[in-house]
Amino acid sequence: MNSAVDPLARKMKWRQIWQKWLYGLFGTPLNTLITVFVVALLFWTVPSLLRWLFLDATWTGSAKDCASNTGACWAFIGAKLRFILFALYPPELDWRPTLVIGLLASLLVITGTPKFWTRHLVYLWIGVVILMWMLMAGTLVGPKVPTSRWGGLALTLLISVVGFACAFPIAILLALARRSKMGGLRTLSILFIETVRGVPMIAILYVAMLLVPMMLPAGFSPDALVRAQIGLTLFVAAYLAEVIRAGLQSVPHGQAEAASALGFGYWHIVRLIVLPQALRAVIPALVNLAIGILLNSTLVAVIGIFDLLNAAKNAANDPVWLGFYDESYIFVGLIYFSLCYSASRYSLWLERHLRAVKS
Amino acid sequence: MRTENGRHRVWRATAAAGLVAIATLFANGVQAGPTLDKIKERGTIKVGVGTSPGFFAPDSNGKWQGFFVEFGRALAITVFNDPDKVEFTSSSPQQRLPALQSGEFDILLSGVTQTVTRAFKLGFHFGPTIFYDGQGLLVNKSLGVTKGSELDGATIGVQSGTTGELNIADFFRKTGHKFTPVTIEDSNEFLKALESGRVDALTQDASDLALRRTLLAKPDDYVLLPERLSKEPLAPAIAAGDDRWLEIVNWTVYATIQAEEFGITKDNVDTFLNSEDPAISRFLGTDPSLGEAIGLDPKFAYNIVKTLGNYGEIFDRTIGKGSPVGFERGYNQPWTQGGLLYSPPFR
């Protein structure tokens, strides 16, 4: 008889669960004390929070309607949604950042599907990244938009993804160099990785923003966003290199030696035998790093770039909608959370999927 | 311990001196080319602004608005006769001065206080003061203090990278009382520190404090003390090395001030075009001889007033009574009405 449909067995199972809970909550005097304390805390905070979030909230209207109400001002998000997503980008060209976000999302979905893991994916990435950048700048169609006007969610996603993509080839070379037997190459790689990992990202951004233009002859300094992007890329590359190196170490020596015996050259061994196995081994770490980069990208605000977080902050600086910082931060907090949470769920799924494929 | 610290200090000082030396070495090379040439070649003016409601903030459409922003537009009118040929970039108080030095901006309109150190040691030129401010103290009423000199042992929040840090230290040295400074970088954090009771008082430019007080959950629990700890003349700052650019900045600001003194506004400016007053026809460029002599568009003042209005109109629209911010004019009135705004003659 199947235990799942047996009413008695089901009852027993529920009973067990209930008893486990009961013990966890009230089993010992200390547990009871903690339970009472936590429940009291929830009673004290949750109702007022819910009132602020939903019951007393203002859903539509103007800043005046919000001021006369005690709850959250979600009308503010309605009025500022465009600004938070695209910031200073010219409103009549909103289709461009929208398209960029769409392109990025599809690119990430394609990249996330193991079926598409072929050489062509690399070409696709190069193509899409260049296309997105040109689209935002207006190189292909329509009026040009200077990078100082890019912003919001589109910018945050763009610099994170472009940073990660550009860092990848650099990181692979760094990781290979660090494992190579050529002393000079190895030392250089170690020097770069350890220097970059030894300084905070803000310092790198300040150098890119303030020192680089002084060191280059006048007029030769690249655009501020490009400098920040290069800084971010180098920063990511150092961390990525270490992740990839860990992957390289997980591939048994025998693999490369066997390939060598079959007459493969160094680059063929790396590209066809070692890297595919190495990268597969470190996928969870890669996703972890990607989440870190997305969150780290908020630091570009210190050099005056309007990323998602900075846009949210400035949305509440508009004298017409002054001071709705809490609503603004909650909203972008939700955006960041959903991005990071879906990334971590994906990583879990992928691990299970790959294990299934292997076995 | 002591020697260890000493060695660290020497190291740090050497490193800092080295960095400054390198920066100066390169900075000289950058500043050789006049700013104005760069602006004309680029076709836009790069303006560094801050982020403070009313003074500089993007609106819902992502267009920069605010008191200082309007002066950036006025400059674009003087140089290009187009208020949109200007690019605004926000910068934090710590970053704005080095960014100006490195040539990242052509001008800072971010509410920089004009000081002698900034002029001599950092090598900046300042245009005319656009906004006269003074440092104030926003105090929790529960302290029962009516004057700044009564504060003793208080914890006071100051924003890092501003002149406020030095002023408050000077003030307490003068009164002989003790205080604990808490340096806060983020301007939202700043207000939260007072509300949460982490600090007893905040010190910052009075205009800023007045605005922030309205954002508090219980504004009536806090009072902005009447005394001013400092003079804060907020002026446009440019890097040294381009005198003509400095003059353009000067006379663009003066044009808005002079227009208000003449009583010329955005709406009535056209009626002044037939004015018999030679000073007015020189100012508006109906008599082109002045503009030709100084090498600017003779109608630059007319264009500024026609597009943006005079100083008073800009003030009212962005931070004055016609805006949600609602500041009093205070010192920021023409000298003829008891304020400090005074334009040299246009002749």
**B70-112 pLDDT, tens digit each:** 999 999 999 999 999 999 988 887 788 888 888 889 999 998 8
Q: Considering only CB atoms, which chain A residues are within 8 Å of B57?
A: 314, 317-319
- Output the six-digit token pair for A357: 């494929």
Fold equal for B2-132 and B135-224? yes
What confidence tens digit (pLDDT) does each residue in B206-240 have?
888 888 887 787 888 898 888 888 888 999 999 98
The whole-number pLDDT of residue A98 equals: 95
Backbone CA torsion sign across B48, B53, B55, B61: positive
- Output the six-digit token pair for B87: 């690019």
The whole-number pLDDT of residue B326 equals: 81
Stretch B154-180: mean pLDDT? 87
The whole-number pLDDT of residue B202 equals: 92
How many Å lie between the alpha carbon of B92 and the closest alpha carbon of chain A?
A: 7
First to last CA, chain B: 67
Backbone CA torsion sign across A85, A91, A92, A96: negative
Q: Considering only CB atoms, which chain B residues are within 8 Å of A224?
A: 89, 104
The whole-number pLDDT of residue B29 equals: 39
Return the DSSP state at A337: H
With CB atoms and an 8 Å threshold, state whether B57 touches A319: yes
Q: Which fold has domain B135-224?
A: D-Maltodextrin-Binding Protein; domain 2 (3.40.190)
Q: Considering only CB atoms, which chain A residues are within 8 Å of B99?
A: 209-210
A143 contact B CB<8A: no
Per-residue pLDDT of chain A (359 residues; tens, 9 = 90+): 454 567 788 888 888 999 888 888 888 899 999 999 999 999 999 999 999 999 888 898 888 888 888 889 999 999 999 999 999 999 999 999 999 999 999 999 999 888 888 889 999 999 999 999 999 999 888 888 888 889 999 999 999 999 999 999 999 999 999 998 888 999 999 999 999 999 999 999 988 888 887 787 766 778 889 999 999 999 999 999 999 999 999 999 999 999 999 999 999 999 899 998 998 889 889 999 999 999 999 999 888 889 999 999 899 888 888 888 889 999 999 999 999 999 999 988 988 888 877 66
Q: Are B96 and B112 in contact (CB under 8 A)?
A: yes
Best residue in A77, A298, A318 for a mutation probing chain B (most B CBs within 10 Å): A318
Q: Considering only CB atoms, which chain B residues are within 8 Å of A213?
A: 30, 102-104
Q: For the residues of A99-150, what is the DSSP string, one character each?
A: HHHHHHHHHHHHHH-GGG-SHHHHHHHHHHHHHHHHHHHTSSSSS---GGG-
The whole-number pLDDT of residue B3 equals: 36
Domain ranges for chain A: 7-55, 74-358
Report the complex ipTM.
Answer: 0.79
The whole-number pLDDT of residue B238 equals: 95
The whole-number pLDDT of residue A221 equals: 72
Best residue in B64, B89, B108, B207 for a mutation probing chain A (most A CBs within 10 Å): B89
The whole-number pLDDT of residue A164 equals: 93
pLDDT above 90 (res B33): no
Return the SS3 of B109.
strand
B62 contact A CB<8A: yes
- Output the six-digit token pair for B201: 């008082």
CA gap A161, A163 in Å, rounded: 5
The whole-number pLDDT of residue A5 equals: 61
Q: For the residues of A226-283, what is the DSSP string, one character each?
A: HHHHHHHHHHHHHHHHHHHHHHHHHS-HHHHHHHHHTT--HHHIIIIIIHHHHHHHTH
pTM listed for this prediction:
0.81
CATH architecture, range A74-358: Orthogonal Bundle (1.10)
Residue B83's nearest CA partner among B254, B296, B305 is B305
Minimum Cα–Cα distance from A81: chain B residue: B60
pLDDT above 80 (res B303): yes
CATH homologous superfamily, domain B2-132 = Periplasmic binding protein-like II (3.40.190.10)
B91 contact A CB<8A: yes
With CB atoms and an 8 Å threshold, state whether A303 touches B61: no
Domain ranges for chain B: 2-132, 135-224
Q: How many CB pairs under 8 A join A and B?
A: 114
Burial class (CB in 10 A: 0-12, 13-18, 19+), B285: buried
